[in-house]
Structure 1
Amino acid sequence: MSADVQDMSFEDALRELEQVVGKLERGEVPLDESIALYERGALLKKLCEGKLKDAEEKVAKLTLDGDGKPTGTAPLDG
């Protein structure tokens, strides 16, 4: 993954991905640039999916006490 994409926050990557998709949908760029935008979009999508998966795993690990209050985390396979 491109270093500049890898260091982006989820929000920044999603914002740029939306811009890339918009440009491609409107067809406002030449073919060569469309291909480069598509490749960048694929990297941004991969980053967003990875960050979402990490967040889902963290949420899945939360443990609750008898009153439903968070008490910490537990392994996903536990």
Structure 2
Amino acid sequence: MTCSEFLALLDDMLDDAIRPELRQELQQHLESCDHCEVTLNTTRKTIQIYRSQQIYEMPAGLRERLHAAIMARCKKGC
């Protein structure tokens, strides 16, 4: 399994809408891929925060970098 294949199946994995055999492949990929493990954990945490309606204050530096990145992307033509 590649990272691209993992990411394409991430939504289904989080929704528990995936065959057990495929889930096992995803788990095996996670055991050897720190990047995808971080992506999965970050996505889960984001969903948790959103569902709990907690307000999360980003540090000013992070907020500014995120805003600058979004604006730069939009100027290129989202």
> So what's the TM-score if we normalise by structure 2?
0.37
> So what's the TM-score if we normalise by structure 1?
0.37
Higher normalized strand content (fraction of residues): 1
Higher normalized helix content (fraction of residues): 2
Structure (1 or 2) with the larger CA radius of gyration: 1
